[in-house]
Amino acid sequence: MSASVKLQGPTGLLEGLMDAPSGEPHAVAVVCHPHPLQHGAMTNKVTYILARAFNDLGAVSLRFNFRGVGESQGSYDSGVGETNDALSAMDWICAAYPGLPLWLGGFSFGAYVALRAQSERRVKRLVTVAPAVERFDSAPIKPASCPWLLVQGDADEVVSPQAVKDWISKLPRPPSLVMLKGAGHFFHGRLNDLRQTVVDYFNAHPDEG
């Protein structure tokens, strides 16, 4: 069962939900939700599934609402302020579980924020789902140096699968790409496949991250 938490963000309190693994945690994970102006929130189903996948892999997961969403204080800031929110969430959970490696995930707009945030902290695993590559400025993003999984539906009606392929083809250190056949942007009917994809990937790379 998810535990409600409040943590200090750059512009006030941020509300979050924490989920624990079945055994003793050996990592912490933060998951970023989709676009705040398009009804994105920490309760989004893809965000929830990412958090549960991290739990399956042994991490305590934290989902949180960006500024201006739900009870989180502040207002939308075009990804810049939201990145600072993510950094606050990452610092908070690392302080709560000192010494554990930090994992990071995000969906759509949240994937963009996660990519920005990993540029500023030492992240050991990164998962981006359907990153909105046509809608963000990649200039502030440093290439991820940790194991990085990108999951994309090949029937995505919001984020162009071809645009994602074109984007990663230009990266000096591209992610491992898994294209889920027949999956749309919100992975309706494919959420369990998404969860298993994340779990299977990192179980196959146990010494990475």
User: Which pLDDT score is estimated for 143?
Assistant: 84
- Neighbour tally for 84: CB within 10 Å: 20
Three-state SS at 3: strand
Q: How far apart are CA 207 and CA 209, in angstroms?
A: 6
| CA dihedral over 166, 170, 171, 172, signed as positive or negative | positive
pLDDT of 207: 63
CA of residue 75 relative to chain centroid, distance:
20
Q: What is the pLDDT of residue 193?
A: 98
**pLDDT number for residue 1:** 82
Supply the pLDDT for residue 79.
Answer: 94
How confident is the prediction along the chain (209 residues), in pLDDT tens digits per residue?
899 999 999 999 999 999 999 999 999 999 999 999 999 999 999 999 999 999 999 999 999 999 999 999 999 999 999 999 999 999 999 999 999 999 999 999 999 999 999 999 999 999 999 999 888 877 778 889 999 999 999 999 999 999 999 999 999 999 999 999 999 999 999 999 999 999 999 999 876 55
Task: Count Cα neighbours of 132 within 13 Å in the Cβ-side half-sphere.
Answer: 19
Cβ 63 vs Cβ 138: under 8 Å: no
Domain-located, residue 195: yes
3-state helix/strand/coil string of 59-70: EEEEEECCCCCC
Name, in order, each residue with C-beta under 8 angstroms of 139's C-beta and a sequence gap of 6 or more: none
Q: Is residue 45 part of a domain?
A: yes
The predicted structure's pLDDT at residue 142: 86
Residue 208 forms part of a structural domain: no
Number of compact structural domains in the chain: 1
Whole-number pLDDT of residue 141:
84
CATH number of the CATH domain containing 118 = 3.40.50.1820
The number of beta carbons lying within 10 Å of the beta carbon of residue 205 is 13
Question: CB within 8 A of 116, min separation 6: which ones?
Answer: 79, 83, 86, 140, 141
Is residue 209, in this structure, part of any structural domain at all?
no
Domain annotation covers residue 77: yes
Residue 12 contacts by C-beta under 8 Å, 6 or more apart in sequence?
67, 72, 73, 74
Give the domain extent around 143.
3-203
Q: Hunting for tokens 């991250």 — which residue is that?
A: 209
Pairing of strands 27-32, 125-129: unpaired
